[in-house]
Structure 1
Amino acid sequence: MKPRPLPSLYRSIGRAAGRWTVAHLLFAAVLAGAVAVRVAAARGYPALLWGGDSFGYLDAANKFRPHIGRPSGYSVFLAGLRPFEDFQAVVLAQAVLGVATGVMVYALVWRMARRAWPRRIWLPGLLAAPASVPVLYDANLIHAEHMLLADSLFTFLLVAAVTVVLWGERTPWWAGALAGLLTSFAALTRLTGLPMLALIVLALVLRWSGWRRTIASVAAAVVTFAVPFVAYMNWFEEHWGGFAITKADNVWLYGRTVDFADCAKLDPPPELVVMCPKPPSDPRIAPAFRALWTQDSPFVYIPGGIYGDEGNEKAGEFADLAIKKQFGDFVGVIVRDTLRAFETGREPYPTPWTEENTRFPVGEAWSDEQQLLAEAYGAHGRATVVEPRAAWIRAYHDRWFTPGPMLAGLLVVGLAGVLIRLRPRSRWGAAVLLPWSMGAALVVIPAATADFDYRYLPPAVPFACLAAALALIPGAARTRRPAAEPPESGNSDEPQEPGKPDGVRDAADKGAKSISL
């Protein structure tokens, strides 16, 4: 075959580069602004901000052992960055995770929109770039990147798992394996990720790719999810003497039940009377927080405290009794706290100081315990506020975030997209159902298993944006008829046009392929 002349080759490369630039120009501007906001935030708050769970995470990272009360995937992440001996490396890493999350949202929406509109190179970007804006500019997500907490890592891992599952029209076994692995890491970072495996498996089944391919991808996802869990539980057993994830798995659910439990109705056995809720000594504190972390807690009187075996056992027995005998009340608090996520304003819940901790602070707070933990890890551990730059990011936080009604609206659009795709040809709406169900689960699960906290809402934003954007793409979940499917060894993800033989494409299709992500 005669080689193409160099001028012709250069023109082809130039045209492809031009088309690629046109396709992604809007997102390039969005991405540049998102990076600039994070640079401004880092100048105002160059070090990490500490929350209530930060002590446990950092202590586990310094000692490289699992925390007794919560999964320690984030501590492993911190331990991986420990060779830098600088907390600013953690700030940078979490900012990169936040930006990468937004890029994945854009890339996935753009790719599906490109399939739906193969001849309109500019149109996918007009949908995908706005879909990424809440993820890249939400001040609550940017604040989470500055916290010594697991939220930004958790969000990134789950969005990556969804991206892997939905990237191609078919999901090969290795993609199922990667999705299972990412979901496992997310669940070992926060236990809220544990039910997400069921949503991944459901999406793999609904996106049916034939018996062999579907079974292989589901099996791979389950195996790669289980292997890190087994390894972690063995690690936990070495340090704490139990083959488990934590020694407080029942404690959090107990905290949920004290919000409605009435011992006059429950009539608990004598050994569980100690778990009955006490009258509040401070009405500003939510019942779950009061029952776990204050002097009103029953764990003060139980040997081993909140992380002891006896306390965990009694918490489980009391929670089980309360849910069985007051199931209607249990459902009521779940509905109440789920709807709280969609309200316009924010109340000081579960306590005034925990709600304040979800915002960039005006001043610095530091203790001897923080000093000792920080010195063991690296430099720049003390929370630092640099004015007047910090004032700018605080003002930004007051204006640029995803309000509750907007989150509700995104989820409603996503749900509508699922419902109109409930048919076999659209794979039962799996492409929209997966991100929508994850977003909804991230709102409901904390309200059902622990307590409402504004900190738990930002991770739902990327999934709500994904679901709403994919719902607007016509045929985003459309599958080809079995007779038109190429052999499994084929690499093309694009459907053939009717009336054309396999392998024949027009010039517009070739151009589309040259800029696909």
Structure 2
Amino acid sequence: MKPRPLPALYRSIGRPAGRYAAAHLLFAAVLAGAVAVRIMAARGYPSLLWGGDSYGYLDAANKFRPHIGRPSGYSVFLAALGPFEDFRAVVFAQAALGVAAGAMVYALVWRAARRAWPRWIWLPGLLAAPASVPMLYDGNLIQAEHMMLADSLFTFLLVAAVTVVLWGERTPWWAGAVAGLLTSFAALTRLAGLPLLGLIVLAMLLRRPGWRRAVASVAAAVVMFAVPFGAYMNWFSGHWGGFALTKADKVWLYGRTVDFADCAKLNPPPELIVMCPKPASDPRIAPAFRALWTQDSPFTYIPGGIYGDEGNQKAGEFADLAIKKQFGDYVGVIVRDTLRAFESGREPYPTPWTEENTRFPAGEAWSDDQQLLAEKYGAHGRGTVVEPHAAWIRGYHDRWFTPGPALAGLLVVGLAGVLIRLRPRSGFGGAVLLPWSMAAALVVIPAATADFDYRYLPPAVPFACLAAVLALIPGAARTRPAAAAPAVPADEPADDEPDESDESDESGKKVSL
């Protein structure tokens, strides 16, 4: 007796779906492992860890007002999770953001590889799964998810913005609007995101969508970037006066310039002499930190202190003078601190205790101020260390992270991918340009505008890895007239079915990208 044929529904849907599910098995295993690591971290450290800026973030969230010295997008995030009255909810949310960012890296690489090799259904996963590993397993990124700091939210928003821009071969206006909105939220979370809008706009202009489409996408991105900024600045004005993001926007650049400023060369006016750097009372402390947060700070002698209008004005005037008259020295400290990011080891910089904030602690440390501020979160407001799970995640963090030389190697590979695509037909860098420029900017911007800090490096890792892997994927699989495509059997998935992402090359043929 002949076996009955498979139902048509299974042949048309079930079998292709099964093949696609099997093609993602490697990533499923990677994802499961990443979730398991985060579960261990949460069991060892069930509450949030505190850093230097945590008090300000939580205070702004509890009072629901903008912080006077830095953008408070992260405080709004904390306030949104406030009804749970449990810091474990924040730990869970930030871990979920990290996993989601890793999944987006995987999806971008898998989609690009699938277009390049449409017949090789297993190959995209073999490239995309390793590309997601740094985002999903880097101990520094996992530790940042446990900190009451803006870094994990900032990283997720930027990865989401890049995903929206690179998802299709063209960026329609609505995608530009979403990318602009996500970048705006990132900039309101950390000021380092502010110049990144330029990279988003450049990427959309270089994707060859036609000038009308490009102008529409860029205009939508700029408008949606500006709307949250306008709303935030209006909110800030209602609390602190002045239509601004902070009252310390010039203070951070001043801190950068004290690393090289020499008042014997600058000859500052009398009102700025107070801003001249003083001899170090503690050589272990970096000049920028010393000038802002210690007894050596000039702001202790200025009415209003570091967040006062007079201090901000004098800081800006001194920074402008120092950069203009010692521009070579300014470039020198940027290069020095950028290269510091690629060293194999870590020194205690900018201070011994701030570098410790980038690690899982071995014990509990709790102050009365922290206790009062976090009392609404009950037992889980206090940072706790639960052994032996905490020891396991500390050991994991010591072994599994992206070292400086590896980050440098990823950037070199990505840069090579950009350079070989520097022609109009490849979009002047293609899909590699945006993630590579994001990674490079996230390394350089802190060194140019504030000071080097190891906690500023992990957000660059997923973009560096994404650029390096995309550099290995050709921009087009092959060129072939649509009519020459072979027939696809009914029981096989239509791998080469043309879609809206196909676009014509200069010869008029269809190119599946």
TM-score range, shorter chain: over 0.9
Partner Cα separation in structure 1 for residue 303 and residue 90 of structure 2 = 37
Task: Tell me how far 1:399 sits from its aligned partner.
Answer: 0.3
In structure 1, what is the equivalent of residue 313 of structure 2? 313
Q: Which residue of 1 aligns with 2:383?
A: 383
Work out the CA distance in 2 between the residues paired with 1:377 and 1:185.
Answer: 26
**Aligned residue for 1:492?**
none
What residue in structure 1 maps to residue 424 of structure 2? Answer: 424
Alpha carbons 1:446, 1:456 under 8 Å: kept: yes
Which deviations, in whole Å up to 9, do the C-alpha atoms of 1:8-57 show, x marking residues without a partner? Answer: 21233321222112210110000000000000000000000000100000
| Unaligned segments of structure 1, at least 5 residues | 479-494
User: RMSD of the TM alignment (CA)?
Assistant: 1.7
Q: Which residue in the other structure is 1:484 paired with?
A: none
Alignment correspondent of 1:498: 480
Aligned to 1:483: none
Alignment of 1:52 with 2:52, yes or no, is yes
Q: Secondary structure at the residue paired with 1:344?
A: coil
Distance 1:39 1:212 in 2: 48
In structure 2, the residue matched to 1:486 is none
Match of 2:507 in 1: none
- Residue 88 (str. 1) matches residue 70 (str. 2): no
CA shift, 1:502, in A, is: 10
Q: Could you report, residue by residue, the CA deviation over 1:65-116 in whole angstroms, capped at 9, with x for unpaired residues?
A: 1000000000011111111111100000000000001000000000000000
Query: Matched residues in 2 for 1:506 and 1:72: separation?
Result: 54
Q: Distance in 1 between matches of 2:364 and 2:79?
A: 25
After superposition, the C-alpha distances for 1:171-197 in whole angstroms (9 at most, x for unaligned) are 110000000000000000000000010
Residue number in structure 2 paired with 1:167? 167
How many residue pairs end up in the alignment?
493
Q: CA deviation at 1:504?
A: 8.5
| 2:208 matches 1:208 | yes
* Corresponding position of 2:266: 266
Identity over aligned residues, as a percent? 84
| Within-5 A mapping of 1:428-443 | 428-443=428-443
Describe the superposition over 1:330-352 as per-residue Cα deviations: whole angstroms up to 9, x where unpaired.
00000000000000000000000
Cα deviation, residue 376, structure 1: 3.6
Checking the alignment, whether the CA contact within 8 Å between 2:118 and 2:495 is kept in structure 1 is no
Shift of 1:501: 3.5
Amino acid at match of 1:498: R
1:295-306 equivalences in 2 (<5 Å):
295-306=295-306
Cα 1:323/1:497, change in 2 over 3 Å: closer
Q: Which residue of 1 is the match for residue 511 of structure 2?
A: none
1:73·1:189 contact (CA, 8 Å) conserved in 2?
yes
User: Does structure 2 conserve the Cα–Cα contact (< 8 Å) formed by 1:85 and 1:379?
Assistant: no
Contact 1:30 1:133 in 2 (8 A): yes
1:62 touches 1:377 (CA, 8 Å); kept in 2? no
Match of 1:398 in 2: 398
Aligned counterpart, 1:489:
none
Alpha-carbon distance in 2 for matches of 1:86, 1:106: 31
SS at match of 1:165: helix
* 1:111 match: 111
- Give 2:397's aligned amino acid: H
Find out whether 1:510 has 2:494 as its counterpart. yes
Match of 1:482 in 2: none
1:455 aligns with 2:437: no
Deviation of the 1:210 alpha carbon: 1.2
Distance 1:142 1:512, change over 3 A: farther
Q: Deviations over 1:219-270 (max 9, x none)?
A: 0000000010011000000000010000000000000000000111111111
TM-score of the pair, normalised by structure 1:
0.93
* Counterpart secondary structure, 1:288: helix
Q: Work out the CA distance in 1 between the residues paired with 2:187 and 2:396.
A: 32
Q: 1:103 to 1:513 in 2, by over 3 A?
A: farther
Aligned to 1:380, the other structure's residue is in SS state helix
Shift of residue 377, structure 1, vs aligned partner: 5.0
C-alpha separation in 2, matches of 1:191 and 1:21: 40
CA distance in 2, matches of 1:503, 1:213: 30
| Distance in 1 of aligned mates of 2:380 and 2:270 | 51
Please report how far the alpha carbon of residue 127 of structure 1 lies from its aligned counterpart in structure 2 after TM superposition. Answer: 0.5
* Residue identity matched to 1:411: L
Give the equivalent residue in structure 2 for 1:246.
Answer: 246
Take 2:88 and 2:487, find their aligned partners in 1: how far apart are those partners?
Answer: 51
CA distance in 2, matches of 1:378, 1:436: 43
Aligned counterpart, 1:353: 353
* Whole-angstrom distance in 1 between the partners of 2:482 and 2:367: 71
* Matched letter for residue 372 of structure 1: L
In the alignment, the residues of structure 2 paired with residue 100 and residue 357 of structure 1 have an alpha-carbon distance, to the nearest angstrom, of 24
Q: Partners in 1 of 2:379 and 2:496 — Cα distance?
A: 49
Residue 211 of structure 1, CA deviation: 2.0
- Residues 457-495 of structure 1: CA deviation (Å, up to 9, x unaligned): 0000010011001000011xx5xxxxxxxxxxxxxxxx9
Q: Conserved in 2, the CA contact under 8 Å of 1:74 and 1:153?
A: yes
User: Which has the higher mean CA deviation after the structures are superposed, 203-212 or 308-317?
Assistant: 203-212
Q: Once the 2 structures are TM-superposed, how far is the Cα of residue 212 of structure 1 from its aligned partner? A: 1.8
Answer yes or no: is 1:365 the counterpart of 2:347. no
Contact 2:26 2:129 in 1 (8 A): yes
Task: Letter of the 1:49 partner, please give it.
Answer: L
Contact 1:45–1:384, Cα closer than 8 Å, also in 2: yes
Equivalence for 1:490: none
Label 1:271 to 1:452 Cα distance change in 2 as closer, same or farther (>3 A): same
Q: Residue deviations 1:366-413, cap 9 Å, x none?
A: 011101111145551111000111000000011000000000000000
TM-score between both structures, scaled by the size of structure 2? 0.94
Contact (CA 8 Å) 2:16, 2:493: kept in 1 or not?
Answer: no
- Say yes or no: does 1:71 pair with 2:71: yes
Tell me, in whole angstroms, the C-alpha distance in 2 between the residues paired with 1:112 and 1:103: 14
Please say if residues 118 and 509 of structure 1, whose CA atoms lie closer than 8 Å, have aligned partners that are also in contact. Answer: no
Q: Please tell me whether the aligned partners of residues 496 and 502 of structure 1 are also in contact (alpha carbons under 8 angstroms).
A: no
Shift of the 213–503 alpha-carbon distance from structure 1 to 2, 3 Å rule, reads farther
Q: Secondary structure at the match of 2:418?
A: helix
The aligned counterpart of 1:327 is 327
| Distance of 1:122 and 1:358 partners within structure 2 | 38
Q: Amino acid of the residue matched to residue 257 of structure 1?
A: T
Q: Give the aligned partner of residue 8 of structure 1.
A: 8
With over 3 angstroms needed to count, the CA separation of the structure-2 counterparts of 1:512 and 1:138, relative to structure 1, is farther
Structure 1: distance between partners of 2:90 and 2:497: 38
Question: Do the aligned residues in 2 keep the contact of 1:102 with 1:135 (CA within 8 Å)?
Answer: yes
Q: Is the 8 A contact 1:82 1:378 kept in 2?
A: no
